[in-house]
């Protein structure tokens, strides 16, 4: 699990297009020779003991550049008590990044009383895009094409909770790509899998080689069986 990122995440880096992480993990765990683009989490917030939407700027843009980040990632809590503050953090991050040509990924978070449907997620993505975010990360939902069609910047699918099967993951990623997403940002559905490398390879094939979910699943099974 995430207790030993050096064992669970680092071996997966070669199979990812981009690595999204915090400054501390990048400095202390990710090997310096890692040449993958980095989407650096630059907003910081409260723990789970308090209101999650109370965020601030945790990493200044100059430090993100020193760390060779490719993009900044900032949470935007639409419909949460501190929505206004998180949007302020987002816009200040976008402004700082624009000075240096560093793009900002807006990560749409869900307010406690908001439903993850196309109407809400579409509104959240549109707000972030209109504030200047260069791309947006959000959850897959029914009617996802309404989210992507209404957002003028690229949309990345968030991983969400761990699913019951590998095929289920591959199907929702495939459907999301078909409905306009440019990629996916997965976590536990890869590193908590019985064969994380196989899952990463299957997702690569799905996104970059136009595999169907069934073809990608067969690739996953081949990799999994080869490790036995």
Catalytic residue among 137, 146, 162, 227: 137
Structure pTM? 0.92
112 pLDDT higher than 70: no
Phi/psi-derived region of residue 162, left when phi > 0, alpha when psi is between -120 and 50, beta in every other case: beta
Question: pLDDT tens for residues 24-52?
Answer: 999 999 998 889 999 999 999 766 667 78
* Coil, helix or strand at residue 156: strand
Confidence at residue 69, expressed as pLDDT on a 0 to 100 scale: 97
Active site residue 137: yes
CA 72, CA 226: separation in Å to the nearest integer?
37
CA 190, CA 11: separation in Å to the nearest integer?
12
Out of 60-64, 113-117, 197-201, pick the least confident. 113-117
The ranges assigned to domains in the chain are 2-193
In percent, the amount of the chain with pLDDT more than 70 equals 96
* Coil, helix or strand at residue 77: strand
177 pLDDT higher than 70: yes
Which whole number is the average pLDDT over 197-201?
A: 96
Confidence at residue 3, expressed as pLDDT on a 0 to 100 scale: 78
Which position has the higher pLDDT, 188 or 2? 188
CA 108, CA 76: separation in Å to the nearest integer?
5
Question: pLDDT tens for residues 94-110?
Answer: 999 999 999 999 999 87
**Arithmetic mean of pLDDT over the chain:** 92
- CATH number belonging to domain 2-193: 3.20.20.70
């Amino acid at each position: 699990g995430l207790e030993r990122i050096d064992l669970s995440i680092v071996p997966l880096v070669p199979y990812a297009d981009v690595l999204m992480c915090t400054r501390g993990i990048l400095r202390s765990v990710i090997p310096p020779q890692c040449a993958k683009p980095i989407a650096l989490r630059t907003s910081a917030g409260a723990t789970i003991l308090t209101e999650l939407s109370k965020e601030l700027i945790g990493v200044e843009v100059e430090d993100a550049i020193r760390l060779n980040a490719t993009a900044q990632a900032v949470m935007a809590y639409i419909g949460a008590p501190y929505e206004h503050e998180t949007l302020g953090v987002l816009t200040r991050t976008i402004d700082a990044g624009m000075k240096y040509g560093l793009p900002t990924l807006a990560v749409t978070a869900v307010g406690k009383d908001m439903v993850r449907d196309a109407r809400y997620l579409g509104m959240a993505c549109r707000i972030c895009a209109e504030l200047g975010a260069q791309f947006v990360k959000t959850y897959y939902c029914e009617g996802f094409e309404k989210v992507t069609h209404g957002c003028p910047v690229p949309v990345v699918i968030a991983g969400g909770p761990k699913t019951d099967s590998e095929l289920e993951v591959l199907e929702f990623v495939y459907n999301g790509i078909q409905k306009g997403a440019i990629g996916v940002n997965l976590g536990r559905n890869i590193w908590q899998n019985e064969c994380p490398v196989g899952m990463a390879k299957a997702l690569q094939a799905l996104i970059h080689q136009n595999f169907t979910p069934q073809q990608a699943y067969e690739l996953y099974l081949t990799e999994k069986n080869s490790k036995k």
